[in-house]
Structure 1
Amino acid sequence: MRRMFPIPAILIAALPAVAMAQAGPFQDLAALERRLAIALGADIGQPGGPVAPIDRRMKLAACPAPVAIEPPFAGAVVLRCAEVGWRVRVPLLAGGAQMQQAAMASAPRPARADPVIRRGDPVEIRAGQPGFSVSSQMIADQDGAPGDRIRVRADAKSRPIIVEVVDIGLVRVLGI
């Protein structure tokens, strides 16, 4: 016959606290999905929405600030927590881009800022994380205002890369 030992009441009361402590340091992916669906105007599996739910096997450190949702680009949207240093690329279901473009075309456009970089200008390109940065000199292939995405090249024969204009003569690598 097997003996059963009573479980102390203190252990039973502590179990929910232990579960919450384990869940606390990680980002709430369900809440992140809800926020993404609202930002995109489409739910999971709908045109313009995420193709699939965010993978629950990921254990992302909790972001102390609101997670940044970058505009859709190349069939995906990027969720970023700069404070902690993680980013997640979420593929989007095709078909929503046309609806988003139509909505954007009908909406009044904000006044466009004057370009601070002109085609042919030398620019400094920077990439990095907290604690380090790398920079190099490139040549702009396009005009751009702060926040614009433009092409730059190392020389006339090299392949262009897409960067974001930060300030006069300064661009940054996208996604870093």
Structure 2
Amino acid sequence: MRRCKNFIVLSVIFIILIKPSFAVFCCRDPETYQSRCYNTGQCCNNLWYQLCINFEVWSRGGELGIGKPTPVNVYIRNIGAYPDEYNLNYKIIKGHNVIVDTRGHDKISVDPNGVRVLRPTVIILAQTIEPIEIEFNVSSTQNKTLWRTTTVRISAEEYLYSMSEFPTFLLIMIILLANIFYRKV
């Protein structure tokens, strides 16, 4: 009997010591709603998530023209368990002939599993040889340490000249050539 008690006591002590290193938690799968046990992640509202507050960010630009205000779409997908609000900031990494206007497009709320779009406006002031790079930084208001970035890269070949960018000599040549061809016809 004494051996049995010693075995039980040692077994309990062993389980208590080992249990924290193999800690698992059980909650429901967010897609199938079946109970499962996990080694990583968090249990939020009784559902498993990698993080309770989490999101993804990506961007897509529009057709850019010199002097033409163009919205750049910054997409935010809330992949966490709770609704969250996000703030948008930007930094121009390369280039100097660009204006970024985020007024009215710097804060948005997104429900869980929802996707919303912020549309800051980009204005290219003049043709440049070097590409323009703008980094958009999106941060969570619920978790101040959680942020994601996306970079928009605008190459010099991606946008067309506007009329004000044509050299005066080239404009005069086009008018003269058009006049010559018009008189021959």
TM-score bracket relative to the smaller structure: under 0.3
- More RCO (CA 8 Å, sep 6+): 2
Structure label with greater radius of gyration: 2
Pick the structure with more strand per residue: 2
With structure 1 as the length reference, what TM-score do the two structures score?
A: 0.24
